[in-house]
A and B are shown apart, each in its own frame.
Chain A
Amino acid sequence: KAGVTQTPRYLIKTRGQQVTLSCSPISGHRSVSWYQQTPGQGLQFLFEYFSETQRNKGNFPGRFSGRQFSNSRSEMNVSTLELGDSALYLCASSSGGAAEQYFGPGTRLTVT
């Protein structure tokens, strides 16, 4: 069974721009969660989608948003990029009923 895939793997953007990241979960998984990983703050939960609905949300500003499609694929969007948004963005999928989450390789975003 294929794992979680994320595209693109690397991205360089300029402050003020916006960016969209994509995640395809493990086949059959209906829950997709997004996390931000930085050296200073570690791994922090952004939000979770299940059956196209946002079910949980972390403490991030409204510039961070996401959505999920009917095939469970998910996208997250960051608008008005700031230098502090430079991070590894990780997507994880699960069956939705359990807490076990399986992570993708991440998208490394650099904001200049």
Chain B
Amino acid sequence: QKEVEQDPGPLSVPEGAIVSLNCTYSNSAFQYFMWYRQYSRKGPELLMYTYSSGNKEDGRFTAQVDKSSKYISLFIRDSQPSDSATYLCATTTIQGAQKLVFGQGTRLTINP
């Protein structure tokens, strides 16, 4: 079983919809949580970075971490066609901070 599970999709929604992307993890030592966006043939781009449990908002993006259920989410409001990409969750421990463990990635398409 992978340490971080993420539904690979694909997920297709209409423009303007609220998108919910999720990951679960198994290692309770994970403390840092990140969401990356990756366009085709590009490197991953850091979207959100959170430490421990709670919510973090940045524009149309909201990241949520629930450590009690080992569940992390990314919400995209007012989705745009330019949001079409693969979204990857990532996490790491305090000790191995640079050793990110990634989910498989969810391929998202926003239809105009």
- Residues in A lying within 8 Å of B, measured CB to CB: 4, 31, 33, 35, 42-45, 48, 50, 55-56, 58, 90, 92, 94, 96, 98-106
* B98-A48 in contact (CB<8A): yes
Residues of A within 8 A of B45 (CB): 103
Question: Whole-angstrom distance from the CB of B32 to the nearest CB of chain A?
Answer: 4
Question: Which among B100, B102, B103 has the greatest number of chain A C-beta atoms within 10 A?
Answer: B100
Residues of A within 8 A of B105 (CB): 42-43
CA of A92 to CA of B88, assembled, Å: 15
Q: Contacts A56-B96, A90-B44, A105-B43; is A100 near B102 (CB within 8 Å)?
A: no
- Residues in B lying within 8 Å of A, measured CB to CB: 32, 34, 36, 42-46, 49, 88, 90, 92, 96-105
Question: Whole-angstrom distance from the CB of B106 to the nearest CB of chain A?
Answer: 11
Residues of B within 8 A of A96 (CB): 98
* A99-B102 in contact (CB<8A): no
Cβ-neighbour of B44 out of A44, A45, A98, A103 (below 8 A):
A103
